[in-house]
Amino acid sequence: MTRLAILWHMHQPFYQDLATGEHALPWARLHALKDYRGMVDVLEAFPAVRATFNLVPSLVRQVDDYAAGAGTDRLLRVGLTPADMLTADDRAFLVANGFHASFERLIAPHPRYAELHAAREQAAGWTATDLRDLQVWHKLVWMDPDQRRTDPRLVGLAGRGRGFSEDDKAALHAAEMEWLRSTVDAYRRALERRQVEISTSPFYHPILPLLCDTDAHLAAHPDAARPARPFRHPIDAREQLARAVRFHRARFGAPPLGMWPPEGAVSNLVVPIVAAEGLGWMATDEGVLARSMGEDLPRDGDGLPLRADVLYRPYEVQAGGARVRVLFRDHALSDRVGFLYQSWQASHAVDDFLWRVREGARRFSEREPGQDPVITVVLDGENAWEHYEGGGRLFLRELYGRLQAATDIRTVTMAEAASDGARPLPSLFQGSWIHADFYIWAGHRDDQRAWSQLSGARAAYDERAPFVPAAARDRAYEELLIAEGSDWFWWYGDDHSSPQDREFDEQFRRHLRHAYEALGLVAPAELLETNITTGAAPPLAGGVMEPAE
């Protein structure tokens, strides 16, 4: 029997400014509306199907903030402002930011929204009616696709299409708040019925090996440049994970069993940190397995693994006097769900997915007769779906229905997948899910400058913290932990870019400035200047996992 472990990773950067309470960007709220609850709800109709959801604590904290009515962001505020009371600046902001959605899937199918999009492209004049319709449509397409089909309020708005009123906006916001308030509880219910495992990641989604030592980047690139001031604080790696486990226990009533390390980034130094928090498993990419073993894991012309017997099993790594089970995701299969199937008919996509699972399992059995393969699929649980027909629900229902009916495939949680049949792995190569290295986060001069700034702020904390009040010390450390998140470094350099690059850069430097301020120190002048020195690459949607080449 083939065991198939699917993990959906739910994550957005921590957008909140602790000084103002404002969320700098709206993505945590928007994905909570469109993806997070719906992703777990769709499983309920397929009780025999099991899956794992990795909920990053900093994301849950932001969703909780919005659900409590405390969270706000500029797009939310501008979207709720009466259209005839919008300032000129707000009007320009709404027109510039009211179309952040897939044109093909979320804008073009709705005539009025497409009409407004064309008007924006033509720089046409905007009436209060136009602006109000835009306020409604942007929020409406970011609502859960199943909710848009079944909630009478949303069905009515979509059916009318135009000429919305302020009362319509209020009704839509009420639906938004109901959905936000129910999101995390939907995961608790799925956990209580034992259909899902909820795993975690270090609190603010940092790259743990780089927190331990930024020279981890040199494992794959020994001649690479280094930050002027390297960062070496394994205590922060431990604190990030300890906070995550405490938060998870408080929010879900039990500690997590395992974790997805941010960006699948692992090293031997991470193993005792993970084990010390009572986590039995972690997962990363097949590229890390190949480099750990010192051999290739080749694929044939169909993209199927030639060494399925190596890839499709759990491993146990012993390092630093500790042991942790490690699962290695099938990179190609995960990427097909994340990036390829969005343009396919759902039934054809699932045909292809299941053929690959079965063929991979057959190849495993040829080399390991009598043993059960463990096939691991890990990918974002949010960013792909706006590019799928029906928000991905058609694909997911087809997939879950076929898996539930299968007699040769059993879906399992990650903890179940890691529970037996593990093979010893002497050492873990220091790498991530992209190219089994850390170039994305430490390889460009902009990354290295940011790490030097973070290291400088961390040194200032160590020197000054004993002499400031506890509240100020705690505030400074919190700002540093936030600045350690992987996302700020993701957008530096020439490898990734988004329309919000400068906003991400400003958020990173702002957190460091706030840390200095909490310590009673003047922040270095360089923290007032951008770290971006390279031109923008072709834009990507905020927070998306890009397939490795």
493: left (phi over 0), alpha (psi -120 to 50) or beta: left
For residue 31, the model assigns a pLDDT of 97
Helix runs in 260-413, H state only: 270-276, 286-293, 308-311, 331-335, 346-367, 393-405
Report whether 315 contacts 425 (CB < 8 A): yes
Strands 322-329 and 281-285: parallel
Give the dihedral sign, CA 102/104/105/106: positive
When the pLDDT of each residue in the chain is averaged and rounded to a whole number, the result is 95
- Buried (b) or exposed (e) across 28-44, using 16+ Cβ within 10 A? bbbbbbbbbbbbbbbbe
- Candidates 93, 163, 165; CA nearest to 130 is 163
For residue 541, the model assigns a pLDDT of 33
pLDDT band at 367 (very low <50, low <70, confident <90, very high): very high
- C-alpha–C-alpha distance, residues 286 and 234, integer Å: 25
- C-alpha–C-alpha distance, residues 467 and 426, integer Å: 45
Q: What SS3 state is found at 414? A: helix
Residues 463-511: pLDDT tens digits? 999 999 999 999 999 999 999 999 999 999 988 888 889 999 999 999 9
For residue 230, the model assigns a pLDDT of 98
Give the dihedral sign, CA 419/420/424/428: negative
Report whether 422 contacts 70 (CB < 8 A): no
In the block, tokens 């000129």 appear at 88
Structure tokens at 153: 């309020």
Q: Is the pLDDT of residue 186 over 60?
A: yes
Lowest mean pLDDT among 64-78, 303-317, 380-394, 527-541: 527-541
Give the dihedral sign, CA 267/269/274/278: positive
- Candidates 426, 484, 389; CA nearest to 145 is 389
For residue 540, the model assigns a pLDDT of 34
Report whether 76 contacts 45 (CB < 8 A): no
- Candidates 370, 354, 362, 341; CA nearest to 405 is 354
Lowest mean pLDDT among 169-173, 243-247, 320-324, 535-539: 535-539
CA 286 to chain centre: 19
Q: Is the pLDDT of residue 411 over 70?
A: yes
- C-alpha–C-alpha distance, residues 101 and 218, integer Å: 38
Structure tokens at 414: 């990650």
Residues 234-280: pLDDT tens digits? 999 999 999 999 999 999 999 999 999 999 999 999 999 999 999 99
- C-alpha–C-alpha distance, residues 210 and 496, integer Å: 19
CA dihedral 27, 337, 6, 35 (to 10 degrees): 30
Residues 318-358: pLDDT tens digits? 999 999 999 999 999 999 999 999 999 999 999 999 999 99
Q: What are phi and psi of 73, to 5 degrees?
A: -145, 165
> How far lies 294's CA from each of 150, 364, 429, in Å?
53, 20, 9
- C-alpha–C-alpha distance, residues 268 and 264, integer Å: 13
Sheet architecture: strand order including 322-329: 258-259, 281-285, 322-329, 315-319, 423-425
For residue 537, the model assigns a pLDDT of 38
pLDDT band at 125 (very low <50, low <70, confident <90, very high): confident
DSSP 203: T
pLDDT band at 535 (very low <50, low <70, confident <90, very high): low
Lowest mean pLDDT among 129-138, 389-398, 534-543: 534-543
- C-alpha–C-alpha distance, residues 315 and 289, integer Å: 10
Residues 6+ apart with CB under 8 A from 482: 14, 18, 58, 204, 511
Report whether 79 contacts 433 (CB < 8 A): no
Structure tokens at 112: 């009025």
Give the dihedral sign, CA 57/59/65/66: negative
- Candidates 233, 296, 229, 239; CA nearest to 273 is 239
Report the amino acid identity of residue 196. Answer: V
